[in-house]
Structure 1
Amino acid sequence: MTVENASAPPSTRRPSAERAAALAIQHLLSRQDAQGWWKGDLECNVTSDAEDLLLRQFLDIQDKKTTHAAARYIRGQQREDATWATFHGGPGELSTTIEAYVALRLAGDAPDDPHMAGAAAWIRAHGGIAASRVFTRIWLALFGWWKWDDLPELPPEVIFLPKWFPLDIYHFACWARQIIVPLTIVSAKRPVRPAPFSLNELHTDPRLPNPSRRLAPVNSWDGFFQRLDKALHAYHKVAPRRLRKAAMSRAALWIIERLESDGCWGGIQPQATYSLIALRVLGYQLEHPVMRAGLASLDTFAVWREDGARMIEIAQSPVWDTSLAVCALADAGVNPDHPALVKATDWMLGKQILRRGDWAVRRPGLDPGGWAFEFHNNNNPDLDDTAEVILALRRVQHPDPVRVSAAIRRGVRWSLGMQSGNGAWGAFDVDNNSSLPGKLPFCDFAEVTDPPSADVTAHVVEMLANEGRSADPRTQRGIEWLLTEQEPSGAWFGRWGVNHVYGTGAVVPALIAAGLPAAHPAIRRAVTWLRSVQNDDGGWGEDPRSYLDEDWVGRGTSTASQTAWALLALLAADERESEAVERGIGWITLAQREDGTWDEPHFTGTSFPGDMSLSYHLYRQVFPLMALGRYLRAVQQGQSVCGTSDLPR
């Protein structure tokens, strides 16, 4: 998007900002569900859509309508060079392109169709199937397109490892262990469903589809784990039958215990997919209650578009979206007792998790009280959602303040108890930062641990400051950790949003809310960095490639959400009268459409840095409104806006 004339004089800026905020408020209120929540689509790359079709083929539950609609969506995401990318505007990616190609072949597209032949040629030119990631080759092995012997081994006996062992399942992040446990069963059973066609056209040499790989030096971690994998392959052939059966039974029980009330597993599509495959290969019939519930949940991830295409959400974000929507509306001046905010509060209160989950393995004595991201995920609440929900609850004047205060106390207590040893906070677990799980040959894609991050820690620190706990030693440790994590440029890394603009936009308001003055050197360095990466059009943008290539740090097409994040930091740092803020507000107001919305095709959310990006469709609505509201309040009050610490409690 190109926005011109964002440098209009400040005298004309406020009326434009007020109009933009009013339109955005009207639109956002109109999108609230009758139950009180907000949720935007959560867009990923087409691997979710491809794997959904592969799952249906494996389970023999495919139907023409679903297949046709999914294929329509996958085709619509193909790039001009016949590849598929992992984010809007990104380069072609091998494994994503392979999975999309295979899914379209299952849907009936012929290999000599121009769009298919072009994709196959590109795949071969980039190493073919043999160069794809392990998870892609696992999917292909399910149909005999790849040999199980040529995949890393992951024995189900890992379920018996004690919790202190460096590679037990609780040393993996919650999202990883809920995929790894099912895949240990699949790895042990090695199922193969007859493939309806060959994939010779995706091999660089069909006569040698599984080329051997050279071993790394024995004195390196890669070399050690490669040789361990060879030993595990040998063990697969001689594993005691009784022990293996017991391990698979324990793993199956572990999976079933984590089935949510809506039939899904943690509200995450890949976890549901792999759990269904594991149970099926163990002999669970499709009519089994667990299987029926899991299969029914698959459709909840589907978004049917007006053109007849069907997109799969990798997860759903109602708790996160609702808390952000409440904060944005409150920041923009909506009355704290507005019926929409009260209804949203009631819904959020009902989503507080009051039972122990996997997090209790490391914190067995801690009482529950967190919130999760999804509609149903009682096992894995997270610190990010918990912090934002509490910030949102404090913005609302609810008719039952005692109930609200009790929920907040539980959430604060749980958050403090989930602090890691270094003083910071991870998303789901405590001290989940071992480097060993990621070195397994099995783990060549995405993050498999959950170490503390600057953005999550910032949100928790901001929440604690808002609760009057800035002087608490635990909050102070979080502040100290954030200060040490600032990069030489002045920015902070963004783990769950793209990227340094997101991290800096989270940390600066948190530090100011916690009592750091705007003149603090860390704040000034952050302000200087944000000014230096502002685009000529007045907005901010950062491409997901910044996770892998430093040349992209702070660089990218201006987007509504990223411009808002930069503005939130600058406004907190008392930069309301600066040229950077005026130009940023100008970009926000000029980029808004007549219906009060913003367009944002770019991906500004992050699932796994460098591997999987996300597009939260509500980000483009809530964050610009939040920035406009704080800007207008700053101009009206003639003072800095420091996030939330100045709101009445």
Structure 2
Amino acid sequence: MGLSAPENPLGYATVRQRAGTDPRSVHRLARQRLLSLQSRDGSWEGEMAWSVMILSQYVITRHLLGRPLPPGEIGPIVQHYRVKRLRQTGWGLHAASVGPSPYCTSLAYIALRLLGLAPDHPLCRPARQWLRTQPGGVAAIPSWGKFWLALLGLYDYRAMHPLLPELFLLPKWLPLHPDRLYCHTRTISQAMTYLYGTRFQGPQGGVVEDLRRELFDRPLRRSDRHRTGIDAAVSPTVPLRLLQRALALYERRPPLALRRRALDRCRARVEHEHAVTGRLGLSPVNSLLDILVLHASGEKPDKVDRSLTAFDYWRWTDPHEGSRYAGARSQTWDTAFAVEALLADHAPCPDTARAVARANRFLTGAQITTEIPTPHLTARSPARGGWCFSEGGHRWPVSDCTAEAVSALLSGSDAGRADPTFDISAATEFLLARQNRDGGFGTYEARRASRLLEHLNPAEMFTHCMVEGSYTECTGSAAVALVHLQGRVNGTQRHACKRALSRARTFLLSTQDADGSWPAAWGINRIYGTLFAIRGLLATGVPRTHPCFVRAGWWLESIQLADGGWGEDHTGCIDNRYVPGATSQPVSTAWALLALLELTGGRSRAVLSGIAWLCDRQLPDGSWPQTAATGVFFGTAMLDYRLYREYFPLWALGRWLATHPAPEIAAGNPAAHTPHLSSDTGARHDG
């Protein structure tokens, strides 16, 4: 393939010499560590850490509902703000932020004051002083922040870009109908437009009046709606400006009957969404807005209280970081990858077998087996057959979560174990329905509108959030799963799988960049996308001698850092390019190794150096230190998947050990000393 030649036929000894430890001992310790983290229900779950934004919105929502937090819950919340503060000043959009965000800092300051902290408290005073130094001050935070301030009565609704509920009354065939939007965007919109249309505001006076004096040094003007500040990730386009002006003209005198009808439509959609998700919503952001809509529309207080109690589903608490709310729950996602990591070395182990059996029972029970009632009310795509990112409680299944669950469940049966009992036909139909016209796969749904709608993105602080996309990682995961499934379904579905795999192959081949890498939308960044593209293309039958793999292998080897590991900086997500990390990271290294093990085998210089790097960096408890973000959404929001550092390095080590003879075997078998390309790279890795 033109890649680096084997350095030493005894690659195992090479790694042991470089790392100063036995790779199998490293793998064994990592495996025991992961097994110890399995929950009683058979799942694994690590926190998907983001920012203090949702926590701030939760505190503000409690105030708007007139339901202050119990005194015993305030301390852990304040602790989280204390731990997450940047530069002893403010709070960022994510942990990797180079500095505070006016948006996050404004909401955090307000939340802390609503919790009872004084203006001169050490957490409040520096934040307020920093906000006053920003161009435009609090008046220049993005529109999403202006909306939350308007709910509090701190911002004039007239100084906002209009959020018209009448958009939900448009004919559904129009390209601008909200039902064509990405599901997160449209479910947020149906709640925000209701609250905007009713001009809902929470209790006034008291601390709200104090906040107005503390945060604003002048009255607001309509021109403030155009201020965006340093949080802005995208500049408003000319079409967006024209649309906003047209909506502002309409908003001066909206027909009252039409407004009432539009509000009724939005309220009905919110109530339906809240009901079919078990009061959880698509995400905690959606859930808080839905609760406010219920309250603003006059819902009975006991029902609002039950919804507020249900919101604790999203909470994480520990002594060090305090109480906060994650952006999602990740049981299915983490469990599927944990299973694939545990099975990667193909070595029988009773503890592993028991853990995998428990995980399979969890995954089988997490599949959605019934349809959403009256999905047309909110334009929901069919959900039956899929798996959610979580354990399934909110009933919003996703393509790659479904694909990885299927791969985890069926990888065991491919190794000789009995087939699991999940609904294979329904899972196949679910995956096939997420494929777009270009052959790529979306997340929750297939794409419903042109990408041109991104030019009307009003979010300012996020990118690529208007319509569903075709994603490298979703396509790669779906391809691997469909290969598992096509041999287990009837003739009609088998033909559909074959056609879908052909289209997925075409999509992945067409989206490789000239340097050999693939872009990603949900992980950081090019290394992640390249791994999933390689997995998908191999699953579809592309031979390892194909030029796309040669380019990918060269690229991965070219970006290996001097210490033998790999690292990638999150800033490349914004510019859609590879940016090398300042240091090597265990997760990035594991992703690169998993990709190279498919392409160059287990004895290439790059792989041996990477395996040695992982062995050398393992902590005494069997885990690895991760100091950089690993995930991303909407281009600018970086995430820390806390379990990635537990199972991806284990997966890479297991995969390497599976293709590498143990020293005691090699010593008794001279043939094992000779590297064979077919033994190192010939077996397809379907996990």
TM-score by length of 1: 0.89
Q: Give the 3-state SS of the residue equivalent to 2:420 in structure 1.
A: helix
Pick from 465, 477, 481: which aligns with 2:483? 465
The answer (yes or no) to whether the contact 2:282–2:396 under 8 Å persists in 1 is no
Deviation at 1:506, TM superposition (A): 1.3
Partner of residue 614, structure 1: 639
Alignment of 1:299-318 (within 5 A): 299-307=312-320, 309-318=322-331
- Alpha-carbon distance between aligned partners in 1 of 2:361 and 2:240, rounded to the nearest angstrom: 50
| Equivalent position amino acid for 2:63 in 1 | Q
Give the Å deviation of 1:488: 1.8
- Tell me, in whole angstroms, the C-alpha distance in 2 between the residues paired with 1:68 and 1:353: 38
Work out whether 1:602 is the aligned partner of 2:628. yes
Q: 1:111 aligns with which of 111, 114, 119?
A: 119
Structure 2 match to 1:3: none
Q: Deviations over 1:2-51 (max 9, x none)?
A: xxxx9993354796221121111112112211111111111111111111
What displacement does 1:135 show? 0.9
Matches within 5 A, 1:88-487: 88-92=95-99, 93-113=101-121, 115-127=123-135, 128-193=137-202, 194=204, 195-203=208-216, 206-207=218-219, 211-212=223-224, 222-259=237-274, 263-266=278-281, 268-288=283-303, 291-307=304-320, 309-333=322-346, 335=348, 338-357=353-372, 368-377=384-393, 379-397=395-413, 404=420, 407-435=423-451, 437-440=453-456, 442-446=458-462, 447-467=465-485, 472-487=498-513
Cα deviation for residue 233 of structure 1 reads 3.4
TM-score by length of 2: 0.85
Higher mean C-alpha deviation, range 360-369 or range 320-329: 360-369
> Distance in 2 between the 1:70 and 1:641 partners?
50
Structure 1: stretches of 5+ with no match in the other structure: 1-5
Is contact 1:540-1:556 (8 Å) kept? no
In structure 2, do the counterparts of structure 1 residues 363 and 226 end up closer, same or farther at CA, with 3 Å as the change threshold? closer
SS at match of 2:388: coil
Deviations 1:68-121 (A, max 9, x none): 321221121111251322333421222122222222222334434455343333
CA distance in 2, matches of 1:54, 1:213: 22
Letter of the 1:121 counterpart: Q
1:75 maps to 82
Alignment match of 2:658 (pick from 630, 633, 646) = 633
1:612-631 per-residue CA deviation (whole Å, 9 max, x = no partner) reads 11111111111111111101
The answer for the alignment partner of 2:520 in structure 1 is 494
Instruction: Answer whether contact 1:345 1:396 (CA < 8 A) is retained.
Output: no
1:418 partner SS: coil
SS at match of 2:660: helix
Task: Kindly indicate whether the alpha-carbon contact (under 8 Å) linking 2:516 and 2:551 is maintained by their aligned counterparts in 1.
Answer: yes
For 1:20 and 1:590, the matched residues in 2 are separated by: 9
* SS of corresponding position for 2:158: helix
| Cα distance change on mapping 1:466 and 1:295 into 2, 3 Å | same
Distance, in Å, in 2 between the alignment partners of 1:333 and 1:247 is 58
Matches within 5 A, 1:556-567: 556-567=582-593
- Runs of 4+ in structure 1 off by over 6 angstroms are 358-367, 398-403
Deviation at 1:545, TM superposition (A): 1.2
Whole-Å separation in 2 of the counterparts to 1:614 and 1:196? 35
Q: Give structure 2 stretches of 5+ with no counterpart.
A: 1-10, 228-234, 488-493, 662-671
| 2: CA distance, partners of 1:427 / 1:506 | 15
2:211 maps to amino acid? S
Task: Classify 1:366/1:547 alpha carbon distance in 2 versus 1 (closer, same or farther; 3 Å).
Answer: closer
Deviates more, 1:182-191 or 1:113-122: 113-122
Q: 1:363 to 1:483 in 2, by over 3 A?
A: farther
Is the alpha carbon distance of 1:293 and 1:363 closer, same or farther for their aligned partners in structure 2, counting shifts above 3 Å?
Answer: closer
Q: How many residues align?
A: 634
- Letter in structure 1 aligned against 2:287: A
**Cα displacement (A) at 1:553:** 2.0
Q: Distance in 2 between matches of 1:279 and 1:189?
A: 12
Q: 1:645 to 1:363 in 2, by over 3 A?
A: farther
Who is 1:578 aligned against? 604
Matched, 1:53 2:69: no
Deviates more, 1:353-362 or 1:123-132: 353-362
CA contact (8 A) 2:18 2:612 kept: yes
Asked if 2 retains the 8 angstrom alpha-carbon contact of 1:153 and 1:442, the reply is no
CA distance 1:445–1:643, shift in 2 (3 Å): farther
Structure 1 residues 398 and 525: CA distance shift in structure 2, 3 A: closer
Distance of 1:176 and 1:272 partners within structure 2: 13
Aligned-residue offset at 1:384: 0.5
What secondary structure, in the 3-state scheme, does the structure 2 residue paired with 1:259 have? helix
Corresponding residue SS for 1:507: helix
> Would the aligned equivalents of 1:398 and 1:404 in 2 still touch at CA under 8 Å?
no
Per-residue deviation, residues 368-416 of structure 1 (Å, max 9, x unmatched): 3111112335542111101101100112359998873662332123212
Classify 1:577/1:360 alpha carbon distance in 2 versus 1 (closer, same or farther; 3 Å). Answer: farther
Q: After the TM superposition, which residues 522-533 of structure 1 pair with which residues of structure 2 at under 5 Å, given as runs?
A: 522-533=548-559
C-alpha separation between the residues in 1 aligned to 2:332 and 2:527? 23
User: Is the 2:523–2:631 contact (alpha carbons within 8 Å) kept by the matching residues of 1?
Assistant: yes
Distance 1:50 1:488 in 2: 43
Instruction: Compute the displacement of 1:231 (Å).
Output: 3.6
Give the distance between the partners of 1:567 and 1:356, measured in 2 at CA: 40
CA shift for structure 1 position 561:
1.5
| Preserved contact between residue 53 and residue 67 of structure 1 (Cα < 8 Å) | no
- 1:312-340: CA deviation from partner (whole Å, max 9, x where unpaired): 11110111111111111111346498222
**CA separation of 1:70/1:283 partners in 2, compared to 1, >3 Å: closer, same or farther?**
same
CA contact (8 A) 1:266 1:374 kept: no
Q: Which residue of 1 aligns with 2:490?
A: none
Measured after TM superposition, the shift of residue 239 of structure 1 is: 3.0
- Could you tell me how far apart the structure 1 residues matched to 2:314 and 2:524 are? 24
Superposition deviation, residue 359 in structure 1: 12
Give the counterpart letter for 1:37 in structure 2: S
Matched-pair contact (CA < 8 Å) for 1:509–1:568: no
- Does the 8 Å contact 1:320/1:388 carry over to 2? yes
Structure 1 residues 358, 558: CA separation in 2 closer, same or farther (over 3 Å shift)? farther
